[in-house]
A and B are shown apart, each in its own frame.
Chain A
Amino acid sequence: NAGVIQTPRHKVTGKGQEATLWCEPISGHSAVFWYRQTIVQGLEFLTYFRNQAPIDDSGMPKERFSAQMPNQSHSTLKIQSTQPQDSAVYLCASSLVGGRYEQYFGPGTRLTVL
């Protein structure tokens, strides 16, 4: 079991450019979560999919951020027109169902917006 895979591990973009982050959950896990981690804000929930369907996106900034899960083997987080304040580590996690079950985190993608 390779665990949750996230690519790329590091991404540097210029202000105004687009960034797409990829996540491959653990096979058999039906819940996928995206989080953003910064020193100031800590670990912030962004969005949650269950069986590929979007369930809760209450943490997603309303503009510029979008997430998809086109199949059970991967999810993407897209940030349009990136801004310096988007610089963070973006973590993807998966679990058997959600909520009370253990979440397995990927290594994260460190996004730096110049």
Chain B
Amino acid sequence: GDSVTQTEGLVTLTKGLPVMLNCTYQTTYSPFLFWYVQHLNEAPKLLLKSSTDNKRTEHQGFYATLHKSSSSFHLQKSSVQLSDSALYFCALYGGSGNKLIFGTGTLLSVKP
């Protein structure tokens, strides 16, 4: 069945450094990938989405490129800010059902 893997449970960085959060997926369908961000005590919100192979998508300084050849959709930012501290979920819509399949999430903690 469809699945999403996020390998890092916790990423701790100093403000101003670059970050990459890993996301790989498995599906037999044409994938639609999402990144959701959840700040403390808030609802998850959509950050990025893509279904186009090898095209970079950007929002709020974050960017990701869907690579179907490696089944990856890693989230990156060139310079993290304190306000980026949050839980980041990668999610897959693979067409095998109507629901999104979420990864386990990566907690990003940015230190001064």
**Residue ranges of A at the interface with B (Cβ–Cβ < 8 Å):** 4, 31, 33, 42-43, 45, 48, 50, 55-56, 58-59, 91, 98-100, 102-103, 105-108
Contacts and interface: CB of A to CB of B under 8 A. Distances in A.
B102 to A, nearest CB: 4
The 6 lowest CB-CB distance pairs between A and B, nearest first, are: A105-B43, A43-B102, A100-B32, A42-B104, A98-B98, A45-B99
B6 to A, nearest CB: 9
B77 interface: no
Report, as a range, how many residues of chain B touch the other chain. Answer: 20 to 34
Contact of A107 (B34, B43, B49, B51): B43
B99 A48 contact: yes
A42 B99 CA distance: 16
Contact of B105 (A4, A43, A50, A108): A43
Interface of B: 32, 34, 42-46, 49, 51, 89, 93, 95, 97-105
Given A55-B98, A59-B99, A99-B97, 18 more contacts: A33-B99, A33-B100, A42-B89, A42-B102, A42-B103, A42-B104, A45-B100, A45-B102, A48-B98, A56-B97, A56-B99, A91-B43, A99-B32, A99-B100, A102-B49, A103-B46, A105-B45, A108-B43
Contacts of B42: 107
Nearest to B44: A105
B45 A43 contact: no
Contact of A102 (B46, B97, B101, B104): B46
B32 to A, nearest CB: 4
Given A48-B99, A56-B97, A42 B44 contact: no
A56 B32 CA distance: 19
A56 B97 CA distance: 8
